[in-house]
């Protein structure tokens, strides 16, 4: 009888441990990735739409759903301060650069984490684009976070970014801005 009790107790303990392990795994599977948004506004407070941000394994996926922008190629960057005061948007500060690099993906000395690919805006003024910005996070406790401290802003410039000239790729005036939150 004692042997039977010990065996039953062992089965319950092993089975119970397995049950709890499965519960913990289930919680992790259902965890949602961190997200943020930015309402992109123009120099006269006109709305250009939204930018959506979602944490991924090695960066932040950005989805742009914009309309009404001027036709052409425009530089777009993450700026270091979460403020968008029109008409110049200088309140957004310099490019987001927690790694202290120079500007541009083609710069041999590295690039700002806030450097993003140019926007191509067609005759209809629409932008439906998504891309991964590697090295960024939405973790509020990380130095490379878009939502830590004062936050950051998404800024669209008047001209194309040449991907190499420090500090801003000769991308011209800031024509639109959205606080990332």
Supply the residues annotated as catalytic. Answer: 77, 79, 95, 103, 112, 115, 157, 174
Counting DSSP H helices and E strands in the chain, the numbers are 1, 9
Residue 51 β-bridge partners: 38, 64
What is d(CA 36, CA 62) in angstroms, rounded to the nearest whole number? 10
For tokens 């083609």, the residue is 106
Residue 153: count of CB within 10 angstroms of its CB: 28
Of the candidates 87, 88, 49, the one whose C-alpha atom is nearest the C-alpha of residue 66 is 49
Buried b (16+ CB within 10 A) or exposed e, 30-39: eeeebebebe
Residue 140: count of CB within 10 angstroms of its CB: 12
């Amino acid at each position: 009888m004692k042997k039977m009790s010990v065996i039953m107790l062992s089965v319950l303990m092993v089975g119970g441990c397995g049950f709890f392990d499965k519960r913990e795994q289930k919680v992790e599977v259902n965890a949602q990735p961190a997200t943020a948004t930015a309402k992109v506004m123009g120099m006269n407070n006109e709305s250009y739409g939204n930018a959506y941000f979602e944490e991924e394994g090695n960066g932040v996926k950005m989805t742009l759903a914009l309309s009404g922008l001027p036709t052409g190629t425009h530089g777009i960057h993450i700026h270091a301060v979460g403020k968008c005061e029109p008409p110049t948007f200088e309140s957004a500060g310099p490019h987001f650069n927690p790694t202290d690099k120079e500007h541009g993906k083609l710069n041999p000395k590295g690039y700002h984490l806030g450097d993003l690919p140019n926007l191509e805006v067609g005759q209809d003024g629409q932008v439906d684009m998504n891309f991964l910005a590697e090295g960024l996070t939405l973790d509020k406790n990380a130095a490379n976070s878009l939502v830590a401290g004062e936050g950051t802003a998404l800024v669209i410039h008047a001209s194309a970014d040449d991907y190499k000239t420090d500090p801003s790729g000769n991308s011209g005036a800031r024509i639109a801005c959205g606080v990332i939150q």
